[in-house]
Amino acid sequence: MSPSAAQPKLPAPVFHDEKHHIKIFQGDCLEILAAIPKACVDLIFADPPYFLSNNGITCHAGRMVSVNKGDWDKLPGADLGLAKARIDKVHDFNHSWLAACQRVLKPDGSIWVSGTSHVIHSVGFAMQQLGFKLLNDISWVKPNPPPNLSCRYFTHATETIIWAAKNKQSRHKFNYRRMKGIAGGKQMKSVWNILPPDKAEKRFGKHPTQKPVALLERILLASSSEGDLVLDPFMGGGTTLLTAFRLRRRTFGCDLEFESLSLSLRRICADLVQVEISVSCAHFSVDPASDPMDRSNSASHRALAMSAEAKLVHQERRFYFVGRAERKVIFSALATSLDDAWHKFRASGKSESDAIFIIKTETEIYLA
């Protein structure tokens, strides 16, 4: 193979957890997909840009808001003012990333693509052009959709998810019995009523097109197994990767936007850090100074006086280093700052690569 024909090299991931097989990349999905070896991915979930950021308005929480989601949702060259040129540009983009996904799918792998009417028809047509085997189109019903402001259309209460196998010869995976069990013993239908992400799923921040964990759980449980490799080329808020980790799948994801990467990392790391930190006994003097307090005061008065005179008797800041290979505390140190803690960590003979997380705790003990 000539050097010019050699496969591109994957960039260094912005996050890599070897133990749980999680890799996150920052960059254009077409470049990332081109560098992934062919036929190695079991399942792909993709929520591509809908290209709706056109300075219009919509309704959110009863208020009129802009539809603009970010530069990633704007179509380059859309200011040409030509409807056909814009449609062709969107379709070319969908055809390109779907072809790249098809290359990395295993022979029996499958792909799920979510979208509204603005983009999903182009996605379906591109799949037909590329020879995917269309399996189902899922109607995801949103129980509480935003009202239609113009009052000239039906309220948009659904989103379509196309499920397709790599090609006509694929023997795609479908965990039929698992889905039948979830559906109460009946064959599961292609209309899914699933609530949008709740507050708990947005506690680390929110992405404008964030999908609920329940939706990705159903998709992964339906068409993948433990240990399978799951890929999300438009990672967004990281729901696919978070769900894949919880269901013990290996997972890759990529996104262009730093804000999306940051949100994904906060959500994933919150699940990864599950370590037990024991509270050690702190030794200090609790012998109070001579006090001429009138002991005849009532109990309530004494309690009030004691709370008002609470005295700080112990204070410490401790840093815990969590191991990369073993998810437990491998080193802890009292330190005034993170730099000081790192210095003590290195002085103990350990390498910086030995740790994947650092947890800081601050303790204050008052004498009441």
What is the DSSP code string of 70-91? -GGGSPTTGGG--HHHHHHHHH
Instruction: Let me know whether 22 and 150 are in one domain.
Output: yes
Asked if residue 196 is part of any domain, the answer here is yes
Instruction: Let me know whether 192 and 306 are in one domain.
Output: no
Q: For 245-275, write each residue's pLDDT tens digit.
A: 999 999 999 999 888 899 999 999 888 876 5
- The rounded percent of the chain whose pLDDT value lies above 90 is 53
Q: For 199-209, write each residue's pLDDT tens digit.
A: 888 888 887 78
- Of the residues 231, 255, 272, the one at which a domain ends: 272
Highest mean pLDDT (candidates 50-54, 108-112, 273-277, 308-312): 108-112
Q: For 51-82, write each residue's pLDDT tens digit.
A: 764 544 444 444 544 444 555 445 555 444 55
If one counts the domains in the chain, the total is: 2
The answer on pLDDT for 304 being more than 60 is no
Asked if residue 281 is part of any domain, the answer here is no
Instruction: Let me know whether 16 and 141 are in one domain.
Output: yes
**Where would I find the beta strands (DSSP E) of 194-328?**
229-232, 250-255, 311-323
The pLDDT value recorded for residue 72 is 43
Instruction: Let me know whether 231 and 318 are in one domain.
Output: no
- Of the residues 272, 289, 313, the one at which a domain ends: 272
Instruction: Let me know whether 87 and 28 are in one domain.
Output: yes
Asked if residue 291 is part of any domain, the answer here is no
326 versus 108: the higher-pLDDT residue is 108
Instruction: Let me know whether 67 and 151 are in one domain.
Output: yes
d(CA 7, CA 1): 10
The pLDDT value recorded for residue 1 is 41
The mean of the pLDDT values for the chain is 84
243 versus 305: the higher-pLDDT residue is 243
Asked if residue 292 is part of any domain, the answer here is no
Contact 99, 130 (CB under 8 A): yes
Contact 302, 250 (CB under 8 A): no
360 versus 44: the higher-pLDDT residue is 44
Q: For 142-195, write each residue's pLDDT tens digit.
A: 887 778 777 888 888 999 999 999 999 999 999 999 999 999 999 999 999 999
Instruction: Let me know whether 303 and 173 are in one domain.
Output: no
111 versus 50: the higher-pLDDT residue is 111
d(CA 183, CA 195): 16
Instruction: Let me know whether 252 and 309 are in one domain.
Output: no
The pLDDT value recorded for residue 75 is 59
Instruction: Let me know whether 197 and 305 are in one domain.
Output: no
Does the CA dihedral 262-265-270-276 come out positive or negative? negative
The pLDDT value recorded for residue 353 is 84
Asked if residue 284 is part of any domain, the answer here is no
The pLDDT value recorded for residue 52 is 66
The pLDDT value recorded for residue 66 is 46
Asked if residue 20 is part of any domain, the answer here is yes
Asked if residue 286 is part of any domain, the answer here is no
Instruction: Let me know whether 219 and 323 are in one domain.
Output: no
- Of the residues 254, 272, 290, the one at which a domain ends: 272
The pLDDT value recorded for residue 276 is 58
CATH number at residue 195: 3.40.50.150
Instruction: Let me know whether 225 and 312 are in one domain.
Output: no
- Write out the DSSP string of 36-51: SPTT-EEEEEE-----
Contact 8, 27 (CB under 8 A): no
The pLDDT value recorded for residue 200 is 87
Instruction: Let me know whether 44 and 157 are in one domain.
Output: yes
Asked if residue 165 is part of any domain, the answer here is yes
148 versus 4: the higher-pLDDT residue is 148
Domain that holds residue 27: 7-272
